[in-house]
Structure 1
Amino acid sequence: MAEISIIGSGHMARGLARAFLRAGRAVQILGRDGRRTRDLVESLGPGATGGITGAPLEGGLVFLAIPYAEVHNAVLELGDGLEGRVVVDVTNTVDVATFDGLLTPLGLSAAEQLAEMLRGRAEVVKAFNTVLAATLETGSVAGEHLDVFIAGDSEDAKEKVSALAAHAGMRPIDTGPLRRARELEAIMLTVYGLQVNPEHENFAWDTALRILP
């Protein structure tokens, strides 16, 4: 039985799965594209299982590694299966058509919208949205560990996510209540802008945000 369920089968799902497998945790991958999900699971090897979104969830921690625009439908598909679990929102809301704005309403984060959708049926934690997929695969940048910024209203839920990040070799940093997700999402507008700016040749989606020391 997997301890962690990851919704999605793209680059972020792969990165998260590899990080958690390194920590010795079993992962369940659920995606809409059966073939893509199967290929991902097979590439991950022992400890990974898969299925179609809507299948019974195994993990007490559920990671939404899908685009922001797909979250609402995913929550509907997962339905009562989310009851009593910790749902980790890793989405970013940068408008990738322009890299010049966020898709969320002013003064509201995707994580807060998710919490409103769930209406107390599950605890919502914002985490891992500031960690890029490529860096999760390698586990570090330039030999340095990754920082994972975490926000949520449940201390118990944040502790579970923090412990997982620490076991995967990363440093969890508690940034406060769920409303701090607004800043965690907004900062990625700058990060994404640097990644796609041709004047910054050293940024190639394998950089990281860190607090020193």
Structure 2
Amino acid sequence: MKINIVGPGNMGRAIATRALAGGHGVCVVHPDPDPARTLAEELKQRFPDSQSDWAASVEPADITVLALWYDAALQIARSAGAALAGQVLVDICNPIDVSTMDGRVTPPDSSAAEEIQRIVGTEVKVVKAFNTTFASLLTAGEGHNFPLDVLIAGDDSAAKDKVADLVLSGAMRPLDVGPLRRARELEAMGFLHIAIQQPLQLNWHSSIKILH
């Protein structure tokens, strides 16, 4: 598959690493060419036999990942809606109030993923995933000798299957947790996971694991 990674930050780098490790092609998307080109070249050096490129705007792809903070993800949803038509759009963000880092900014009866779905319309299949995984472990694809669990929510089963294939190919375990409205609980879980890092001295090296 071809995977657009919108955002050249830590999470964008980590998800791109998993995608390339799984044999997929990656295009790093950012309006500023310097960070996008830099990450694409870094990935090409690490995976010389894989396809990694960069672009200033969203191009046709099998999956587009919004590896962005909530406000930036909303901006891309508004500006690139037409370009995203027919694609699977993965929202990874935790919509935290960045001014206080205490609480979420989405309406109580919604989620970041649902707000993005509302903006882009039904031609785009929004899936929530990766918001409960941290970049440090995601880069490696495992934590403490366990494969990472990637919790997935969405209303379109075929779209979730594509994301699950991406997760599996990167040596992780996809877990379908239900419809897109389950993103509300995933984002609450993501916020709690972030909030406990300092008091529990986890240093961003913890993961959420379902054992059964």
TM superposition score normalised by structure 1: 0.93
Kindly report the root-mean-square deviation, in angstroms, between the aligned alpha carbons of the 2 structures.
1.3
Structure-1 residue corresponding to 2:54 = 50
1:178 and 1:31 map into 2 onto residues whose CA distance is: 26
Q: Contact (CA 8 Å) 2:17, 2:139: kept in 1 or not?
A: yes
Deviation at 1:190, TM superposition (A): 1.2
Aligned AA (1:105): P
Over 3 Å counting, the alpha-carbon distance change for 1:155 and 1:127 in structure 2 is same
- Does 1:181 pair with 2:183? yes
Offset, 1:148? 0.5
Written as runs of structure 1 = structure 2, the 5 A alignment for 1:58-207 is 58-197=60-199, 200-201=200-201, 203-207=202-206
Q: In 2, Cα distance between the equivalents of 1:189 and 1:66?
A: 15
Contact 1:111/1:125, CA 8 A, preserved across alignment: yes
Report sequence identity in percent: 38
Amino acid at match of 1:210: K
Partner secondary structure for residue 82 of structure 1: coil
Amino acid at match of 2:182: R
Instruction: Give ranges in structure 1 of 5+ residues lacking alignment.
Output: none
- Range 73-82 or range 139-148, more displaced: 73-82
Q: Which runs of no fewer than 5 residues in structure 2 stay unpaired?
A: none
CA–CA distance in structure 2, aligned partners of residues 67 and 24 of structure 1: 27
Distance in structure 2 (CA, Å) of the matches to 1:29 and 1:36: 9
Amino acid at match of 1:181: A
Shift of 1:33: 2.4
CA–CA distance in structure 2, aligned partners of residues 44 and 211 of structure 1: 31
Deviations 1:24-63 (A, max 9, x none): 11101101322111111111113210021x25x1311110
Scaled by the length of structure 2, what TM-score is found? 0.93
Contact 2:63-2:89 at 8 Å conserved across structures: yes
Matching residue's letter, 1:168: G
